[in-house]
């Protein structure tokens, strides 16, 4: 990874995404819509590849998982049973001055990234205020940048308060709060990151998008766009069980859109209002049933999670097994373990239904943040749906001769966050020397061939030589039955390579005069194969191209 400053790196990545058609702002010609993003031609291929690979690894390569594709709008009682109607909310504050809404728990993170706040922090090292500096800033730049900040509205008054309350100014944040508070006494304020104004007390804000089903549009017709794909799996549990030949332990997985009316969508696509999830609900026997059958459950200290699944695994081992499986899958698509972190949620961070949750984090340029959560959810969801629907969610276990509501392990990943992580991981600016000894910067996306939007670029050396063009077109037609290829005959060959480097294409094939036998029969029907990462070139037979490329992308 590059050592460029992170903001610059992120800005460059966002700009490349637009320039190369990976990600566009939704509704851009109308000024955009905050929290919504579209995938352009390259982005759509990348996303499709990632989803295909996840689906294949979950369903086709395993005996114990089946797929589901459910609707986005479901019966509204589902969200009462799951707890989303009552508890799926974020704390939100409104700025009394500019009226903007901010997520109360993210204000200080936001203040880390705004330049005016950086100035204040630099004028209060370790909480010790540079009073002259603050006064000067408040009367000049501050007035222009954040007119609603208490310090800017009344510099002398607020600095006098700071002197009086100096015992409270024990850190940069505490000093910052005093400088943001108009009153000389009483509770301190958190400043609005946008204008410095005073924020209201936090209020819960439900994140579900509401809509109406049918033309009457009364309160009784309210429905929700699903905020997660998981609940559909729970409510279809019995149908899947009765129609597929599955036995606990088994899983049901789904890929699909989810919607959350996030208070402050940010960090490009990282926190969006419309996004996609890839979720697996893996149903297991309750530990009591395992204990009754096998005497006790296998324990993690025996190294159980690193073997193939065993009948005596309880929830702890299954949970660990799925954490490891998910790390293995990320590695297989180019996100090495060294780029990821494993975070065990602390007891006070766990959702009320969760026994344990491990987050897989990626080191984004804007901070190390969650890509996927793997939660041990007990039997909370199935039990809730049993209670609210009145329909049994019990499973009759023939081996144990007992009925129970299965427990569940849930690996839940966000497709869009993963796409962003793959782009961030792949992005590199390299200084290279061209044939004439000139130094230049090569922008390259080092996508793993499995996820790369274009697998191979195919070029005739010259576009005005029909024999070269014809052979290149033949290769294109042969390969495109099996993978996404890009045919390009315009510009110097070096420029064509650079264009594919920026698109993350791992291989390029050039048809030259050797290929058409002009320099002897031994090289006829061979091409130059150029490798993106090493930029090395080798001569290969056209007949060997397809098997080689397939070995790289499957």
Residue from 49, 181, 277, 500 touching ligand GAP (CB under 6 A): that is 277
| The Cα angle at residue 428 between residues 425 and 431, in degrees rounded to 5 | 160
What is the closest distance, in whole angstroms, from the C-beta atom of residue 95 to ligand GAP in the complex?
Answer: 22
| CB-based contact 298:312 (threshold 8 Å) | yes
Nearer to ligand GAP, 330 or 459 (CB): 330
| CB-based contact 532:506 (threshold 8 Å) | yes
Q: Per-residue contact track with ligand GAP, 87 to 126, x per CB under 6 A?
A: ----------------------------------------
* Structure tokens, 355: 């026994």
Query: ω before 249 within 30° of 0 (cis)?
Result: yes
Residue from 267, 272, 500, 528 touching ligand GAP (CB under 6 A): that is 272
Nearer to ligand GAP, 271 or 476 (CB): 271
Find tokens 């979950």 and name the residue: 58
**b/e per residue 162-185 (b: at least 16 CB within 10 A):** beebeeebeebeebbbbbbbbeee
Residue from 20, 238, 417, 496 touching ligand GAP (CB under 6 A): that is 417
What span, in angstroms and rounded, lies between the C-alpha atoms of 426 and 414?
18
Nearer to ligand GAP, 275 or 330 (CB): 275
Nearer to ligand GAP, 177 or 228 (CB): 228
Find tokens 């797929």 and name the residue: 67
What is the closest distance, in whole angstroms, from the C-beta atom of residue 270 to ligand GAP in the complex?
Answer: 6
| CB-based contact 452:411 (threshold 8 Å) | no
Q: Contacts with ligand GAP in 251-270 (CB under 6 A)? A: 260, 262
Strand partners, 14: none
Nearer to ligand GAP, 260 or 532 (CB): 260
Secondary element (H or E) of residue 250: strand 250-259
Please choose, out of 60-68, 118-126, 408-416, 472-480, the segment that lies near ligand GAP by the rule CB under 6 A. Answer: 408-416
Secondary element (H or E) of residue 291: helix 287-294
What span, in angstroms and rounded, lies between the C-alpha atoms of 190 and 176?
8
Q: What are phi and psi of 414, to 5 degrees?
A: -100, 125
Our finding on whether 412 is near ligand GAP (CB under 6 A) is yes
Our finding on whether 271 is near ligand GAP (CB under 6 A) is yes
What is the closest distance, in whole angstroms, from the C-beta atom of residue 230 to ligand GAP in the complex?
Answer: 4
What is the closest distance, in whole angstroms, from the C-beta atom of residue 136 to ligand GAP in the complex?
Answer: 41
CB closest to ligand GAP, residue no? 414
Please choose, out of 366-374, 439-447, 453-461, 514-522, the segment that lies near ligand GAP by the rule CB under 6 A. Answer: 366-374
What is the closest distance, in whole angstroms, from the C-beta atom of residue 369 to ligand GAP in the complex?
Answer: 9
Taking the alpha carbons of 56, 57, 58, 61 in that order, is the dihedral positive or negative? positive
Our finding on whether 372 is near ligand GAP (CB under 6 A) is yes
Nearer to ligand GAP, 82 or 505 (CB): 82
Residue from 275, 327, 330, 459 touching ligand GAP (CB under 6 A): that is 275
What is the closest distance, in whole angstroms, from the C-beta atom of residue 413 to ligand GAP in the complex?
Answer: 6
Query: Which among 98, 110, 89 has a CA at the least distance from the CA of 202?
Result: 89
Our finding on whether 316 is near ligand GAP (CB under 6 A) is no
Tell me if residue 458 falls in helix, strand or coil.
Answer: strand
Residue from 23, 152, 413, 553 touching ligand GAP (CB under 6 A): that is 413
What is the closest distance, in whole angstroms, from the C-beta atom of residue 333 to ligand GAP in the complex?
Answer: 15
Residue count at the site for ligand GAP (CB under 6 A)?
A: 19
What span, in angstroms and rounded, lies between the C-alpha atoms of 158 and 100?
24
What span, in angstroms and rounded, lies between the C-alpha atoms of 298 and 294?
9
Q: What is the 3-state secondary structure (H, E, C) of 299-347?
A: CHHHCHHHCCCCCCECHHHHHHHHHHHHHHHHHHCCCCHHHEEEEECCH
Our finding on whether 370 is near ligand GAP (CB under 6 A) is yes
What is the closest distance, in whole angstroms, from the C-beta atom of residue 411 to ligand GAP in the complex?
Answer: 9
Residue from 279, 316, 425, 488 touching ligand GAP (CB under 6 A): that is 279
Q: What's 68's DSSP letter?
A: E
Residue from 97, 371, 458, 509 touching ligand GAP (CB under 6 A): that is 371
Residue from 373, 453, 504, 506 touching ligand GAP (CB under 6 A): that is 373
**For 24, how many CA atoms within 13 A lie in the half-sphere containing its CB?**
16
Q: Contacts with ligand GAP in 211-250 (CB under 6 A)? A: 228, 230
Q: What's 166's DSSP letter?
A: G
What is the closest distance, in whole angstroms, from the C-beta atom of residue 469 to ligand GAP in the complex?
Answer: 44
Secondary element (H or E) of residue 206: strand 203-206
Please choose, out of 114-122, 412-420, 458-466, 484-492, the segment that lies near ligand GAP by the rule CB under 6 A. Answer: 412-420
CA 323 centroid distance within chain? 17
Binding residues for ligand GAP, rule: CB under 6 A, are 228, 230, 260, 262, 271-272, 275, 277, 279, 370-373, 410, 412-414, 416-417
């Amino acid at each position: 990874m590059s050592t460029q400053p992170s903001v610059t790196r992120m800005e460059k990545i966002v700009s490349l995404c637009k320039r190369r058609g990976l990600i566009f702002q939704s509704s851009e010609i109308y000024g955009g819509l905050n929290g919504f993003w579209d995938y352009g031609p390259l982005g759509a291929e990348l996303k499709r590849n990632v989803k295909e690979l996840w689906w294949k690894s979950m369903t086709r390569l395993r005996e114990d998982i089946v797929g589901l594709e459910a609707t986005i709008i479901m019966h509204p009682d589902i969200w009462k049973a799951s707890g989303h109607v009552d508890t799926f909310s974020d704390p939100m504050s409104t700025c009394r001055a500019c009226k903007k809404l901010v997520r109360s728990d993210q204000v200080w993170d936001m203040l880390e990234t705004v330049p005016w706040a950086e100035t204040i922090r630099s004028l209060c090292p370790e909480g010790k205020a540079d009073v002259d500096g603050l006064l000067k800033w408040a009367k000049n730049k501050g007035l222009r940048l954040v007119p609603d900040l208490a310090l800017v509205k009344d510099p002398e008054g607020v600095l006098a308060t700071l002197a009086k309350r100096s015992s409270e100014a024990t850190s940069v944040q505490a000093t910052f709060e005093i400088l943001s508070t108009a009153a000389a006494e009483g509770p301190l304020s958190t400043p609005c990151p946008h204008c410095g104004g005073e924020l209201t007390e936090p209020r819960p804000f439900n994140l579900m998008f509401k809509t109406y089903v049918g033309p009457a549009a009364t309160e009784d017709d309210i429905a929700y766009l699903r905020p997660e794909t998981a609940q559909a799996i729970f409510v279809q549990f019995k149908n899947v069980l009765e129609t597929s030949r599955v036995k606990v332990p088994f899983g049901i997985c789904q890929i699909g859109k989810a919607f959350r009316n996030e208070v402050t969508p940010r960090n490009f696509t990282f926190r969006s209002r419309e996004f996609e999830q890839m979720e697996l609900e893996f149903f297991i026997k309750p530990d009591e049933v395992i204990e009754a059958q096998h005497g006790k459950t296998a324990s993690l200290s025996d190294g159980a999670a690193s073997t193939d699944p065993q009948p005596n695994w309880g929830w702890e081992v299954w949970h660990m097994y799925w954490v490891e499986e998910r790390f293995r899958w990320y590695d297989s698509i180019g996100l090495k373990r060294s780029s990821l972190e494993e975070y065990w949620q602390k007891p006070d961070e766990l959702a009320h239904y969760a026994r344990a949750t491990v987050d897989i984090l990626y080191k984004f340029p804007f901070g190390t943040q969650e890509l996927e959560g793997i939660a041990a959810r007990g039997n909370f969801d199935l039990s809730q749906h049993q209670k609210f629907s009145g329909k049994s969610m019990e499973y009759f276990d023939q081996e144990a001769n007992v009925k129970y509501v299965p427990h569940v392990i849930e690996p839940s990943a966000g497709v869009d966050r993963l796409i962003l992580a793959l782009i961030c991981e792949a992005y590199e600016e390299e200084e290279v020397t061209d044939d004439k000894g000139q130094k230049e910067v090569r922008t390259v996306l080092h996508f793993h061939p499995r996820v790369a939007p274009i697998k191979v670029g195919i070029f005739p050396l010259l576009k005005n030589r029909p024999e070269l063009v014809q052979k290149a077109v033949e290769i294109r037609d042969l390969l495109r039955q099996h993978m996404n290829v890009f045919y390009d005959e315009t510009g110097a060959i070096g420029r064509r390579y650079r264009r594919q480097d920026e698109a993350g294409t791992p291989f390029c094939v050039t048809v030259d005069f050797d290929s058409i036998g002009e320099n002897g029969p031994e090289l006829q029907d061979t091409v130059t194969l150029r490798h993106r990462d090493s930029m090395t070139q080798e001569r290969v037979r056209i007949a060997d191209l397809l098997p080689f490329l397939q070995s790289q992308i499957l």
